[in-house]
Structure 1
Amino acid sequence: MHLEVPGCPVVVDSMENSSNAAYGAYFDRLYILQEGKIVYQGGRGPEGYRITELRDWLDQYRETMGKSNNLVINV
């Protein structure tokens, strides 16, 4: 993702699970944040993951980034 969408930071937990330990997360979730705001929040994992939904959002984002750098996607 980092290589395909420049300017879009990707944040993941370490293999030591330090974010989970620090914040007491019980369920995994997939999030997309833009300018400090959550623009996509997936369901509680692993049963609530909708990878196709996330992929669709990212595909839409990639398409709009190709058209304009000033476009904001509302989810």
Structure 2
Amino acid sequence: MYKLGEFKQLVKDFSDVADFLVVYIAEAHSTDGWVFANNVDINKHQNLVERLAAAQFLVKQDPLCPVVVDEVTDTTGTKYCAFPERFYVLKAGKVIYKGKMGPWGYSPEEMCSFLEKMK
């Protein structure tokens, strides 16, 4: 959520170059887990219904692109080493860009530079 504004700017600036999609995975800072000050009040998801409900918080923030939800078994998050967050660019089914793992490696600026080259 911290860099959602920067993500939205990427979507605005590069929607002519790429289709954007957010995959909502396991909650990185659940209320009953690793908590930060000013955290969103979301517990660790015990089932798909809870994960879908938690993803609605993100949807309400209007990320300007579709939001899909990973399985509770974290299949996508695990395959893409995406926890807690990460950028990927796929072309013709192949990964052509893999950003560093968040939160410290999550870089909208780096993604912007990569997408600029695709214009």
Please state which band the TM-score falls in when normalised by the shorter chain.
Answer: 0.5 to 0.7
Q: Secondary structure at the match of 1:43?
A: coil
In structure 2, what is the Cα distance between the partners aligned to 1:45 and 1:12? Answer: 14
In structure 2, what is the Cα distance between the partners aligned to 1:35 and 1:57? Answer: 17
Determine what percentage of the aligned residue pairs are the same residue: 23
Q: Larger Cα Rg: Structure 1 or Structure 2?
A: 2
TM-score normalised by structure 2 residue count: 0.41
Is 1:45 the counterpart of 2:102? The answer is yes
Contact 1:29/1:49, CA 8 A, preserved across alignment: yes
Show the counterpart of 1:4: 15
Is 1:21 the counterpart of 2:72? The answer is yes
Question: Which is bigger in relative contact order (C-alpha 8 A, separation at least 6)?
Answer: 2
Instruction: For structure 2, list consecutive stretches of 5 or more residues without a partner in the other structure.
Output: 1-10, 25-53, 56-67, 78-82
After superposition, the C-alpha distances for 1:7-37 in whole angstroms (9 at most, x for unaligned) are x322113561722735253321110100001
Cα distance, 1:5 vs structure 2: 1.3
Q: How many residues align?
A: 61
4+ long deviations beyond 2 Å = 1-4, 20-27
Query: Structure 1: which amino acid aligns with 2:15?
Result: E
In structure 2, what is the Cα distance between the partners aligned to 1:4 and 1:56? Answer: 14
Note closer, same or farther for the CA distance 1:5–1:22 as it changes in structure 2 (3 Å cut). farther
Query: Structure 2: which amino acid aligns with 1:57?
Result: F
Instruction: For structure 1, list consecutive stretches of 5 or more residues without a partner in the other structure.
Output: 63-75
Please, what is the CA RMSD of the aligned residues?
2.7
